[in-house]
Amino acid sequence: MRYAIAIPQYYSDGSFDPGAFREYLTRAEEAGYHSAWTQEAVFGRRPQLSPMEAMTFAAACTDTLRLGCTVFVSTLHIPAQLAKSTASLDQLSRGRLEMGVGSGGKNRPYAAFGMQPDRYLARFTEGVELLKALWTQETVDHDGDFWQLSGAGITPRPFQKPHPPLWFGGSGPKALRRALNLGTGFFGAGSTPTAAFADQVRFVRSENPGPDFEIAKRVYVAIDADAARARARVNAELTALYGGLSPDVEAATIAGTPDDCVRAVREVQAAGAELVLFTPLFDQAHHADLIAREIIPALS
C-alpha cells in the first residue's frame, strides 16, 4: 500500500505563503508519503492555483516525493504544449511526475477554449495518443481529426522511460476500458462512494489488465475527536467546492475520529485501492501530520 497527500492549491489573491507551502511539502516528504497531488480547475467556485505551476514549485521544495495531477482535463489542452510542459517538469523533478488525464465530460466550458463539445471523447482519445507519441518518439507524423504534425518532436522528452505513469479518471465501463487501453492506472474520484469504487475495480480486474496496471482512490477526509464537528466542517467545504452536496459526495467522504477514519480507509483498501490519496479540505498541514502520525500507522 502507498499513501499520498493533496498539495495545497486553494488560495485567495495574495494569500499564498511560499514558506508555509515549502514546509508542508518538506514535512510530507519526511513523513514518508509516496506522492503529493494536485487537481485542475481553470474556472471554479474556489480560488485555485494551476496544477502545473504548483507541482513545479513543489518539485523545487522536495527531492524524492512524487508529484501528480488527478486529473488534467486534457481535452481542453493542446497535446503538443501539454507534452512539452509535462516532459519539462519530469526532467526538472528527475522523473517524479505522475500524470492523470480525464475527458472532463460534455458540460465543460468548451467555448472558452475555442472548442465545441461535440466529439469531445474523440478529441480526448486522439489527444492522449498524440501526447504519448510526443513523449516517446524522436519525431512524430500525425494526421488526425483534430491535430496534424509532420516530423515534429519535443526534446528533452520525459526523464522517465517510456513515459511517466499515466492515470485515467472516469467511472463508466467505456471510460474504464479507455484507461485499460491507453493508461497505466485508474484513479477513482473523491466523489465516488466506496461501494461504487469497488464495482469499478471489479470491472477493471475482470478485463484482465497487465500486472503493472495500478488502481488508486482519492478520499476527502476530515479528522476530529468530535465526529459530528468533522462532518459538519467537511460538508461545508464540499458544498463550497461543488456548489451543493449530493448524497454520493457525502457518502464518499471520510469524516470522524481517527478510529472512524481508519475503518473507512480500510474499506477503500478492501475495495481495491493500492494507493490512497488523502485530500483534506481545511487545516491541510494539520491533517497531513495527523494522517501520517495516527492513520497510516494504524493501517499497516
> d(Cα 264, Cα 83) in Å, to the nearest integer?
37
Sign of the alpha-carbon dihedral angle for 100, 83, 53, 25: positive
Q: How far apart are CA 67 and CA 293, in angstroms?
A: 21
Please answer whether residues 52 and 89 qualify as being in contact, where contact means their C-beta atoms are separated by less than 8 angstroms: yes
Q: What is the pLDDT of residue 300?
A: 79
Q: How far apart are CA 248 and CA 228, in angstroms?
A: 18
288: phi then psi, degrees, rounded to nearest 5: -60, -40
Total Cβ atoms within 10 A of residue 123:
23
pLDDT in tens, the chain (300 residues): 999 999 999 999 999 999 999 999 999 999 999 999 999 999 988 999 999 999 999 999 999 999 999 999 999 999 999 999 999 999 999 999 999 999 999 999 999 999 999 999 999 999 999 999 999 999 999 999 999 999 999 999 999 999 999 999 999 999 999 999 999 999 999 999 999 999 999 999 999 998 999 999 999 999 999 999 999 999 999 999 999 999 999 999 999 999 999 999 999 999 999 999 999 999 999 999 999 999 999 997
* Burial of 117: CB neighbours in 10 Å, binned 0-12, 13-18, 19+: middle
Query: What is the separation, in whole angstroms, between the first and last Cα of the chain?
Result: 8
Q: What is the pLDDT of residue 115?
A: 93
CA distances from 265 to 175, 254, 260 (A): 25, 8, 9
Q: What is the 3-state secondary structure (H, E, C) of the chain?
A: CEEEEECCCECCCCCCCHHHHHHHHHHHHHHCCCEEEECCCCCCCCCECCHHHHHHHHHHHCCCCEEEEEEEEHHHCCHHHHHHHHHHHHHHCCCCEEEEEECCCCCCCHHHHCCCCCCHHHHHHHHHHHHHHHHHCCCEEEECCCCEEEEECCCCCCCCCCCCCEEECCCCHHHHHHHHHHCCEEEECCCCCHHHHHHHHHHHHHCCCCCCCEEEEEEEEEECCCHHHHHHHHHHHHHHHHCCCCHHHHHHCEEECHHHHHHHHHHHHHHCCCEEEEEECCCHHHHHHHHHHHHHHHHC
Compute φ and ψ for 142, nearest 5 degrees.
Answer: -140, 120
Q: With beta carbons less than 8 A apart as the criterion, state whether 72 and 82 touch.
A: yes
- Give the type of residue at 225: A
